[in-house]
Amino acid sequence: MNILFLLLGYILGSLPFSIWVTRYVKNVDVRDSGSGHATTTNTIRQAGFGWGALVLLLDIAKGFLPTYLAARFSGETWVIALTATLAVVGHCWTIFAGFRGGMGLATAGGSILAVNPLAFLICLGLLILLVLVVRHSARASVFAGILIAPVLWVLNIRDITFWVGLGAGVVIAIRFLIDWNRKYRELWLDREKKE
């Protein structure tokens, strides 16, 4: 039964909503512009804000749902943490789109939200603070991925939330390394500078 939660995490995480939505709305591949990733920001760029907001909610939900179910029906720390981590892995390297997915932030947020809404707000605040300080979205996300678990530990959040944050954070840090040297004009929209 525990293995089913892990599979559910990866399969739900793999659902490439941004790819499906932009293909449906504009008949384009969301990965063909902007950052080249299947993300909310690229969906906004290709299909508009409303469709991007829908993708954001769906990406949060695909992290939330399997993690919530694992927490509710398994209760095993390792199962919950691995289910959450695999949901983020699925989003980043989706089996349904040639293993070329998104960056995992929304799905990681959904996973953390499923086990601890306060920790979700803390992690969101950490990410926003780092983006403002570092002024480079990818590097800020790498640092956020690395710092999620230590920050939760320092704040005495050491239950399953810590392990979910650790697993999701490691995946986020690894995933965003690909954009470490990316040049930005608008931080939140991830647009490259014109030379």
Find the radius of gyration of the CA atoms of the chain. Answer: 16
Confidence (pLDDT) at 20: 97
**Mean pLDDT, all residues of the chain:** 93
Q: How far apart are CA 109 and CA 121, in angstroms?
A: 9
Q: Average pLDDT in the 89-104 region? A: 97
Does 188 score more than 80 pLDDT?
no
Does 127 score more than 90 pLDDT?
yes
Q: How far apart are CA 22 and CA 75, in angstroms?
A: 37
Task: List C-alpha distances in Å: 32 to 7, 45, 52.
Answer: 29, 11, 16
Confidence (pLDDT) at 59: 98
Q: Average pLDDT in the 83-106 region? A: 97
Task: For 155-183, give one letter per residue: b (16+ CB within 10 A) or e.
Answer: eebeebbbbbbbbbbbbbbebbeebeebe
Q: Average pLDDT in the 69-77 region? A: 96
Q: Which of 38-47, 55-64, 125-134 has the lowest mean pLDDT?
A: 38-47
Does 115 score more than 80 pLDDT?
yes
Q: Domain boundaries in the chain?
A: 2-179
Q: Average pLDDT in the 44-57 region? A: 94
